[in-house]
Amino acid sequence: MGRLTGKITIVTGGGTGIGRAIAYRFYREGATVAICGRRRNVLETAKEEILAGGDGNEDRTVYLDTVDVSQSEEVGRFVTTVARAFGGVDILVNNAGIMRFSPLVEMEEDLWSDLLEVNTLGPWRMMKAVYPHMKARGGGAVVNLSSIAGHKSLPNVAGYCSAKAALTMMSQVAALEWAGDGIRVNVIAPGLVEDTELADPIFGKDGVPAFYEKLRSLHPLGRSGTTDDVADLALFLVTEQSSWITGAMIPLDGGRHLATNRPPV
């Protein structure tokens, strides 16, 4: 406890799933947390859960606002508001993302655009907005949530794979450019993480359990990931314990990156 005392943190997509778990963990470690997403009611519920995880004696807060990361003006406004209210930004976790399926030859340009706008350019907009605030504070840490799909080709997921691969490369370029400013940039690439809403638009809530069941066996360790698995690694990557790590892409997938795309025999 207390490893992030005094740190101001932004978590995108902080209302559900991985983002909410990370915000919850960071708050328990002493951070002031600002979460954003597109649904205020979901953010409000997440805020209540995050605050309930404290010890009741905090002198910090959880700030929230609705933000569409595909809109530069909304991103800029949010980051500026957070920095002015709390004195800067120390940590950014780019978690907001969307996943859509389509065979390559059937993909429409609008689908390509949506996937890139949210999964690649969204994190870029946030990084660009927080950079001067981190630099002014003498450094910071950025964690970008990619996916196994960013380094392992999967059928019918060309747009998502491409957007996540681009996110990893962009992150590594930023790690090089910002190292002199004391800003570290790292990437987490999860396998299948359950208890998120990422697959809901594709399979529907009723179809998601079967999707989870089908993919669990693809992970050599025999299970899918949890949101806490990701929160654990994210916390490590923003603390002094990882102070000599930047530009890393860390698979967090139960060993799935070592395997083929086929279920075990």
Active-site position among 27, 63, 131, 160: 160
pLDDT tens profile 179-222: 999 999 999 999 989 877 666 666 677 777 777 777 777 888 88
Whether 263 is covered by a domain: the verdict is: no
Per-residue confidence at 249, pLDDT binned at 50, 70, 90? Answer: very high
Task: Assign 3-state DSSP to the chain and report helix, strand, coil percentages, each to 5.
Answer: 50, 15, 35
Residue 150, classed as helix, strand or coil, is helix
Is the CB of residue 141 less than 8 Å from the CB of residue 235? no
Whether 176 is covered by a domain: the verdict is: yes
Whether 1 is covered by a domain: the verdict is: no
Residue 197 has which token pair? Answer: 């809403």
Residue 97 predicted with pLDDT over 80: yes
What total of structural domains would you count in the chain? 1
Whether 114 is covered by a domain: the verdict is: yes
Of 117-121, 140-144, 216-220, minimum mean pLDDT range: 216-220
**Nearest residue to 230 (alpha-carbon basis) of 253, 198, 199:** 253
Whether 41 is covered by a domain: the verdict is: yes
Whether 189 is covered by a domain: the verdict is: yes
Domain that holds residue 16: 8-258
Separation of first and last alpha carbons in the chain: 43
What lies within 8 Å, CB to CB, of 107 at 6+ separation is: 158, 159
Segment 65-87 shows an average pLDDT of 98
Residue with tokens 């809109």: 71
Q: Which long-range contacts (CB under 8 A, 24 or more apart) does 67-72 make?
A: 67/12, 67/36, 67/37, 67/38, 68/38, 69/12, 69/36, 69/96, 69/118, 69/122, 69/123, 69/125, 69/126, 70/114, 70/117, 70/118, 70/121, 70/122, 72/125
Is 63 among the catalytic positions? no
CATH number of the domain encompassing residue 100:
3.40.50.720
Residue with tokens 């969307």: 98
Whether 265 is covered by a domain: the verdict is: no
Is the CB of residue 32 less than 8 Å from the CB of residue 86? yes
pLDDT of residue 56: 57
Whether 163 is covered by a domain: the verdict is: yes
pTM, full prediction: 0.93
Strand blocks (E) in the chain: 8-12, 32-37, 62-66, 91-94, 140-145, 183-190, 249-252
φ/ψ bin of 247: left (φ > 0), alpha (ψ from -120 to 50), beta (otherwise): left
Per-residue confidence at 234, pLDDT binned at 50, 70, 90? Answer: very high
State the chain's mean pLDDT as an integer: 92
